[in-house]
Amino acid sequence: MHRRHLVSRSLVLAAGLAFGSAAWAQTTINVAAFADFAGPYANVMNDMQGARLAVVDWWNKEVGDKLNVRIAVKTYDTRYDVAQTASLWPGIKAELKPAIVLGLGGPDAAALQQRLPEDKIPMLFGTAAYGFGWKNGQWALNVRPTYPHEAAGFLEWFRTARLEGKRPVKVAIITSEATPAYADMAKGLQAYAKANPDKATFVESIWTEVQPADLTLQVRRLANAGTDVIVIQTNTAQAVATKRALQALGKNIPIMLSLHNGVLGSSKALGNPNGFAGDYEVGAIADASEDDTAARNFYATLQSKYGLKSAWNSMTVLGLGQAIVAVRAIEAAVKAKGAAGVTGETVYAALMGSKFTGAELMGVLPGVDFSPENPFPTGTAKVNIATMKDGKVGRVAADAAVPAIPKW
């Protein structure tokens, strides 16, 4: 029987046939994965990709075998390039008929965001979301809220824990107008501060190059204004330039980083393994700290039983988070429609209709809930906050609340 979104199937004869038992059909559900082995993320892609594949292997053994279902992943190198993603997509769609796509980042969203609702294939990102993706009816979904949501969760924690709630946090952001994603981070943070003057005072946006040579003058301005926290969710180059400026000025203003430019990676780029001591990395997903957490235990299981070679770092965590939501969504679609009924459309319905708990997501995420109005988690989102001490990353706050922010 032909269907427009028919999922590819492979029939496997049970060993029991030799004894006269009936054959059983194992359904193979195809997943497309976008990767970058030749572009800006080539040096960290193996960690993220290894995590994705290990989660799928784990699910196939622990869950899929019981459902007579197997998930097969085919990976395409898009080089983190909009044109490459766009050119590959028609062939991927025709060849694979994927039930879901594991996206990598902004170029994939730019290339396919408008196409996916028509193609009826959802795409998941392990990264935080952007304000310009905050539209109704999106099929490109982030397993974390926006970067400004994550920053706001940190600022509310910082105000209580470090300022004892006595006054608003004076916050500045260092970013760039070179990409819409970077500019969006500043817009969202400003929207939060404007809506919550009792909690945050926005000092200034420092607009600079993606890879700035020197930020001493700009950082001096922030220090003179009494800035409490500098937010940098862009890249390690901006984090390193800011840290060097603070060192040159003899100032100690804590920096809040995101996971992809976290304290370990930024310290390595600085040339000092403890260079970002006392700074923070924040994300609405498990942190790659040394703490004994459910996510760390899941990672250890994947290492010992499913051949995971990826190091315990933030890129690995992003791969784990993205993949665990994808397999749980497929699992929910199988249970709702049967294995033969799994299509991109039914997986999307499962994503929209399910509220995945932290336990179901193996502690990698605090929970995930989507709606047609919010293509990222809202009610279940919480941030983990980690810091560096003696060259090691340790958690200082778990499951800090993420506040509501008006659309910007």
Would you write out the chain's pLDDT as a tens digit for each of its 408 residues? 443 343 333 333 333 333 333 346 799 999 999 999 988 788 889 999 999 999 999 999 999 999 999 999 999 999 989 999 999 999 999 999 999 999 998 889 889 999 999 999 999 999 999 998 899 999 999 999 999 999 999 999 999 999 999 999 999 999 999 888 899 999 999 999 999 999 999 999 999 999 999 999 999 999 999 999 999 999 999 999 999 999 999 999 999 999 888 998 899 999 999 999 999 999 999 988 888 999 999 999 999 999 999 999 888 999 999 999 999 999 999 999 999 999 999 999 999 999 999 999 999 999 999 999 999 998 889 999 999 999 999 999 999 999 999 999
The residue with tokens 């060849």 is: 95
Same domain, yes or no: 222 and 263: yes
Same domain, yes or no: 109 and 218: no
Tell me, yes or no, whether 5 lies in a domain: no
Tell me, yes or no, whether 9 lies in a domain: no
Task: Strands of 114-273 (E only): list them.
Answer: 123-125, 140-142, 169-175, 200-207, 229-232, 255-257
Same domain, yes or no: 25 and 96: yes
Same domain, yes or no: 240 and 321: no
Residues spanned by the domain of 177: 147-283+384-401
Rounded Cα distance between 383 and 283, Å, is 5
Same domain, yes or no: 200 and 270: yes
Burial of 178 (0-12, 13-18, 19+ CB in 10 A): middle
Same domain, yes or no: 140 and 156: no
What is the dihedral sign for C-alpha 284, 289, 294, 299? positive
**Count: domains in the chain:** 2
Tell me, yes or no, whether 339 lies in a domain: yes
Tell me, yes or no, whether 407 lies in a domain: no
Same domain, yes or no: 247 and 352: no
DSSP 340: G
Rounded Cα distance between 102 and 88, Å, is 14
Rounded Cα distance between 211 and 233, Å, is 13
Same domain, yes or no: 112 and 24: yes
Tell me, yes or no, whether 359 lies in a domain: yes
Cα–Cα nearest to 334, from 126, 27, 13, 5: 27
Tell me, yes or no, whether 304 lies in a domain: yes
pTM over 0.85: yes
Cα 23–chain centre separation: 41
Same domain, yes or no: 161 and 279: yes
CATH number of the domain that residue 352 is part of:
3.40.50.2300
Same domain, yes or no: 55 and 130: yes
User: Which residues are CB-neighbours of 105 under 8 A, at least 6 positions away?
Assistant: 41, 80, 125, 127
Same domain, yes or no: 167 and 268: yes
Sheet holding 27-35, edge to edge: 69-77, 27-35, 100-102, 123-125, 140-142
Same domain, yes or no: 165 and 264: yes
Tell me, yes or no, whether 308 lies in a domain: yes
